[in-house]
Amino acid sequence: MSNPVKKARQGEKLPLKSRGIQSKTSYDLRRLQSLLIKANPRQEVAALSQSKARSRSQGLHPPPPLKDTSRQRSESDVSSEASELEKFSITYRDQRCFSSHPLHTLFSDILTSLVKNRLCSEWIDHAPPESVLRVLICLRLLIRDPHHQKLLHQLQGISLLARYMESVTAMYISCDEQAFAAQKLVTMTYMFQKLSVVENQRVWVIESGAHRTLVKLLSTTDSSVLLGALLALTTLAESPKCKEEISELPIVENLLVILQEYDLLSKRMSAELLRLLSPVWQVREQVRELEGLPVLLSLLYGQHLKLLWSVAWILVQLCEDADTRTEIRSWGGVQQLLRLLSSDRQYVSDRSSIDALSSANAAGRIQREHIREELSPQEEVDNTVALQSACCTVLTELSLDDTSAHHIVQENGVCIIAKLILPQNSGPKVASLQCYAFRTLRFLFSVERNRHLFKRLFPTDLFELFIDVGHYVRDLAAYEGLQTKVSFYTEEELDSLRESIEAVDQNRPPLKVINGYSILDHLGTGAFGSVFKVRKQSGQNLLALKEVNLHNPVFGKDKKSRDSNVEKIISELTIIKEQMTHPNVVKYYKTFLEGDKLYIVMELIEGVPLAEHFNSLKEKQQQFTEDRIWNIFIQMCRALRYLHKEKRIVHRDLTPNNIMLGEKDKVTITDFGLAKQKQENSKLTSVVGTILYSCPEVVKNEPYGEKADVWAVGCILYQMAALQPPFNSSNMLSLASKIVEAVYEPIEDGAFSERVTDMIRWCLSPDADQRPDIVAVTSRISDIMMRLMDGLYASQNALERRAERDRRRAQRYFLERHRSRTDCSHSNLSQEKSLMNAETLTPHSSAACSSNHSEQTISRDDVSEGDAEACGLKSSACVTPDHIQSGSRPRPVSAGICVSQKKVRQIDDPIQRLLVQLHKIIYVTQLPPAPHHNIKRRVVERFKKSLFHHGSDPYNLKAELSKLLQASPELLELGSTSSDWFPLVHHFTGDPHAADSTGDGNLKDGVTYQQMQGIVEELLEENGYYEATPSRVAEKRSDPENK
């Protein structure tokens, strides 16, 4: 359209021409406005209906004479209006701002007329779909102007639009065929997306209730409608208030389905929407309840940068829950995140914004708009850095859990993350990534067990700054000093830092090999030596190897006494190794001498010492809960009861460093280097162990027994409550006096129940005769143990029921397989008899076979894997049931080879039949999205999802497919509740009472395998599955016989 202002100086004729164009434009707009306001709604609807009916009957009967000339004028106006609306949508399809147009008043009047005279329910509910679509398209073009958006709100147009979108959606989702429904929904979702761009306008959309309809549209399979709803909801969710409103709706399940099964663009937008909603706790709870975590972690294997970035930030929000952090670790999330940080693979991305995608979707050019664009090198670097920063943030949140932090270190996380602090490219995003990496490393350093790595990692000046940041500081600004320090490093200093990073790389070659054990990592150093993580060269299992220096004075001052003591220790360890089997006691495998060192091979405990939990809780200013204290204490008591009463072993060195806590606080007692097996009713006299946890008898150098371990357990119980040992002093004499007299600071009043303090007082009785043994301790807390046992029994019963269910399924599968083999053998015998009869009737020779070869030759290209049921020998002959029944002689495929028909029989492979059935199900679920909601396909998708859900196994898959092949009357177990299953049944049957009218059971609980097989076959017929190849036609013919 010409602009008279721009052409004012182009001569005398041009302004006249421009004024003529403007006049024509003004005339067209005024004519459109007059048509929109001329007829009242009722007259317009009647005229539209008459016009539509007449156009359908034209050509079959002559039009009746018009008695009313006003009706003829009305029909003419309708036709003119359609033409003018079409012209308007073409002329102004690229116009963005109408309020600055010279004819802006006319545009505002047209918008007002469209809302008042067309968007009103009286007209729009009865108008033909094509007319409504034209009106919606013109509205879509006009509200691109921000001024018109406010005008639409003043005219109550947003609520009218929301009400109409709700009615169209209800019919669309219920599979009620309606012309132009998808186009109308795409147009309306675009309008709500545009209205939601401005923050203070989002409340208008929420008040109209449009967000509820948009959430419903997430269940559609039409890609354009789905994308329109996702874009509108994503724009809405940028507002905190709207985010809360959307989160109250059941949106997470639909988003997880999209993330699993839809195209890349839909996945990307679903992930972005879920990222915006995940700060709301209801959404995080839904993700957890619906087992969405495995779905999100599986997306980390993708290649689209924006999708990966959104998923990473979703995980950051989910990490607020401690149980979710544990679940991410157990699902392998740490390895996947570290792989994203360390891999150099090529990613894909695009520059499309939400507004650009929304406009492209409304204009029907989304496929051209969303392509895998070639990004510039700087854009690719920026996007990759943003993804790495997000991954570092997830690892930072996971590090709040000590076990997860240790797991990150074990997976070589320190080396991988430390490489990101090295300056590689210039730019603010790269500097920001260095801060993210420093923060993750600092969180890992906050766990005491990991700190030895960092002493080797950083030079002294950087290490001092690193420590000064403090524990668990989230503010990125606190790490800018570290980033600045590294950025000013010389090339020589950077090389030294790189060498230090490589030194902590756990994937480097073994440090050394000792007696066939490869040393992988140094785990720690104790009073008697060091502990290493090792792997036997002939195997893959990880083990712990304790190295004991025999020159330690504790073993003797001269060689003779050392050899005697070492021999006793090895003998003692051999006894312990052969005897101890308890879930709370470490397993010993082997001891050997090499040089002047003793090596002990033992189980590698994947956990953290209790002492590190104490330090971590103090730094976080947290405490153990009483339930957690009793859980740990009871496991220690169980282990000691086993050692004392069944094996007569005294540990003699029970300390928080020798008690490992694994998953769910599983206790494992380690370090039996000082353990002693004693005779019944005897006493020990050696002064060994850690003095902080030594009992008064040991301090006074008196004989002692098993109650020395009870004293140590009492000290540990006190430390769990107070986070510090009960007896502590820098003066050894003062410390010994406190231990002998049992003088310690009492536990803070009200922190724990009296039961905890009473147990501490009892176990720390200075008189060994008054101190209880381990049996008395356990009897005092028997009720707590029984409560824990009840929980264990409940878990065990649940596991047993699941195992029994799986066993029955496996048994049914094997019985069905045996039955199918038996049936197959019977059918083979009958076929051999038929073939023998056929041979008797029609003798053949190799010459005859050769001469008739051209009639029966089957092309190799025409035989698929699905034809295996009909082929006896793929390379030599083919016999079908049709050949046998007709009595005709089957001819061999090869002209040069003739096989006796006595040796040919039809093979009925049950596994092949299962594969064919599985192929049919997957074929249905991978069909292109249907133009309308297809309930049958939804049912099949639910069935496929139940076959491959988390926790499924091959035996269950085979059993389910076998039932489907045999058309079993049993009900399917789709894992869905009756509340979401019954609507599918109702839509499928079309009868609200159908659920109660079948003899097979209540359809509210599901459908039978027989009905599912019918649904699959109907969908295959509708989509031309059997028309694809001749083999499938043959397969379809043979299906009834196989059944």
What residues act catalytically? 653
Q: Is 52 helix (H, G, I), strand (E, B) or coil?
A: helix
Q: Report the alpha-carbon distance of residue 597 to residue 576 in Å, rounded.
A: 20
Contact 673, 546 (CB under 8 A): yes
Q: Is 352 helix (H, G, I), strand (E, B) or coil?
A: coil
Q: Distance from CA of residue 970 to its chain's centroid?
A: 32
Contact 216, 210 (CB under 8 A): no
DSSP 176-214: ---TTHHHHHHHHHHHHHHHTSSGGGHHHHHHHTHHHHH
Q: Report the alpha-carbon distance of residue 409 to residue 402 in Å, rounded.
A: 11
Closest among 31, 24, 42 to 82, alpha carbons compared: 31
What are 830's two structure tokens? 């009958």
Contact 691, 712 (CB under 8 A): no
928: left (phi over 0), alpha (psi -120 to 50) or beta: beta
* CB-count burial class (<10 Å; 0-12, 13-18, 19+) for 378: exposed
Contact 211, 236 (CB under 8 A): yes
Q: How far apart are the first and last CA of the chain?
A: 69
Q: Report the alpha-carbon distance of residue 1037 to residue 1043 in Å, rounded.
A: 11
| CA distances from residue 620 to 320, 443, 447, 616 in whole angstroms, order as listed | 16, 12, 11, 6
The torsion angles phi and psi of 393, rounded to 5 degrees, stand at -65, -40
Beta-bridge partners for 518: 513, 535
Contact 230, 270 (CB under 8 A): yes
67 is in an annotated binding site: no
What are 176's two structure tokens? 């009620």
Q: Report the alpha-carbon distance of residue 238 to residue 730 in Å, rounded.
A: 58
3-state percent breakdown (helix, strand, coil) of the chain, nearest 5: 65, 5, 30
Q: Report the alpha-carbon distance of residue 589 to residue 600 in Å, rounded.
A: 8
Contact 1015, 996 (CB under 8 A): no
Contact 728, 735 (CB under 8 A): yes
Q: Report the alpha-carbon distance of residue 133 to residue 265 in Å, rounded.
A: 26
Name the residue type at position 526: G
DSSP 972: P
Closest among 122, 159, 154, 117 to 138, alpha carbons compared: 117
What are 767's two structure tokens? 């008189």
Q: Report the alpha-carbon distance of residue 1037 to residue 882 in Å, rounded.
A: 10
What are 348's two structure tokens? 């894909």
| CA distances from residue 586 to 311, 525, 652 in whole angstroms, order as listed | 39, 18, 15
Q: Is 400 helix (H, G, I), strand (E, B) or coil?
A: coil
DSSP 712-780: HHHHHHHHHHHSS-SS--SSHHHHHHHHHHT--PPPPTTTS-HHHHHHHHHHT-SSTTTS--HHHHHHH
Q: Report the alpha-carbon distance of residue 553 to residue 569 in Å, rounded.
A: 15
Q: Distance from CA of residue 440 to its chain's centroid?
A: 23
Binding residues for ATP, as ranges, are 546
Binding residues, as ranges, are 546
